[in-house]
């Protein structure tokens, strides 16, 4: 869901950079020393998952994993995603430096939203409710990212309306896949490392 260089207007780029700066600042303040390895691992997972992408107009379709990033890291997913996006822009020319702020917001903000919506539900003792919440988290995170990309394009130029709709529709399969991946990740963590789920809420 990287937006390419030279697409967005200056006001959208500046707004995205400002929002990203706020999100990263809050995220850095909330990273405890013992959480740094978790942040690094999830940043790496995001980096690898979003390398395989299919161009769709000025954006692209790929896995994001921002739902599981948000549930496990909370606000700390902002710096985690920023680092991964910066490396992708520098090493592989995915997205770009000028759109780094906007791309960070479109992928990290939905993770934070899902953190507040689903973290407690994912931590429920009832496995069924936890797994349903995990699927909804992965699905909704990608949907919100698609909507934010669409909004960024529409605020740049109204003629991007058809492209904005295409981007959201193209990500419907990704929403389902991400929901399933998040479900399996949560199920796995509940068995082998439940403290990652149970101990995060309220600290992200």
SS3 string of 101-126? Answer: HHHHHHHHHHHHHHHHHHHHHHCCCC
Q: How many CB atoms lie within 10 A of CB 169?
A: 11
Query: Does residue 14 sit in helix, strand or coil?
Result: helix
* Tally of CA atoms within 13 A in the half-sphere of 26 that contains its CB: 15
- Beta partners for residue 53, in sequence order: 62
For residue 198, the model assigns a pLDDT of 56
Contact 62, 136 (CB under 8 A): no
What CATH code is assigned to 10-198?
1.10.1760.20
Q: Distance between CA 146 and CA 98 in Å, rounded?
A: 19
For residue 48, the model assigns a pLDDT of 86
For residue 56, the model assigns a pLDDT of 63
For residue 94, the model assigns a pLDDT of 81
User: Rounded to two decimals, what is the model's pTM?
Assistant: 0.86
Query: Does residue 166 sit in helix, strand or coil?
Result: helix
Kindly report the length of the chain: 204
Q: Distance between CA 187 and CA 201 in Å, rounded?
A: 17
* Tally of CA atoms within 13 A in the half-sphere of 81 that contains its CB: 35
Q: Distance between CA 91 and CA 26 in Å, rounded?
A: 27
User: Tens-of-pLDDT digits for all 204 residues of the chain?
Assistant: 678 888 889 999 999 999 999 999 999 998 888 888 889 999 998 888 877 776 666 556 778 899 999 999 999 999 999 999 999 899 888 878 999 999 999 999 999 999 999 988 888 777 788 899 999 999 999 999 989 998 998 888 877 788 778 888 888 888 999 999 999 999 898 888 777 775 444 444
Q: Distance between CA 89 and CA 95 in Å, rounded?
A: 6
For residue 111, the model assigns a pLDDT of 94
pLDDT in tens, 113-169: 999 999 888 887 777 888 999 999 999 999 999 899 989 988 888 777 887 788 888
Contact 42, 93 (CB under 8 A): no
Hey, where are the domains in the chain? Answer: 10-198
Closest by alpha carbon to 174, among 202, 139, 145, 150?
139
């Amino acid at each position: 869901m990287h937006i390419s260089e030279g697409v967005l207007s200056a006001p959208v780029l500046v707004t995205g950079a400002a929002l990203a700066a706020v999100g990263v600042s809050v995220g850095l303040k909330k990273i405890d020393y013992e959480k740094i390895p978790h942040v690094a691992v999830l940043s790496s997972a995001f980096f690898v998952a979003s390398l395989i992408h299919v161009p769709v107009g000025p954006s692209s379709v790929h896995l994001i994993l921002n739902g599981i990033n948000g549930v496990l890291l909370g606000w700390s997913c902002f710096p985690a995603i920023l680092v991964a996006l910066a490396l992708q822009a520098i090493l592989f020319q995915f997205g770009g430096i000028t759109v780094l702020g906007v791309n960070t917001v479109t992928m990290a903000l939905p993770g934070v939203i899902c953190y507040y919506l689903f973290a407690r539900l994912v931590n429920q003792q009832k496995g069924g409710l936890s797994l349903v919440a995990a699927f909804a988290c992965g699905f909704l995170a990608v949907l919100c990212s698609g909507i934010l990309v669409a909004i960024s394009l529409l605020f740049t130029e109204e003629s991007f309306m058809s492209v904005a709709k295409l981007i959201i529709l193209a990500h419907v399969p990704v929403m389902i896949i991400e929901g399933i991946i998040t479900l399996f990740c949560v199920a796995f963590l509940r068995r082998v490392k439940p403290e990652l789920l149970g101990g995060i809420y309220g600290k992200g």
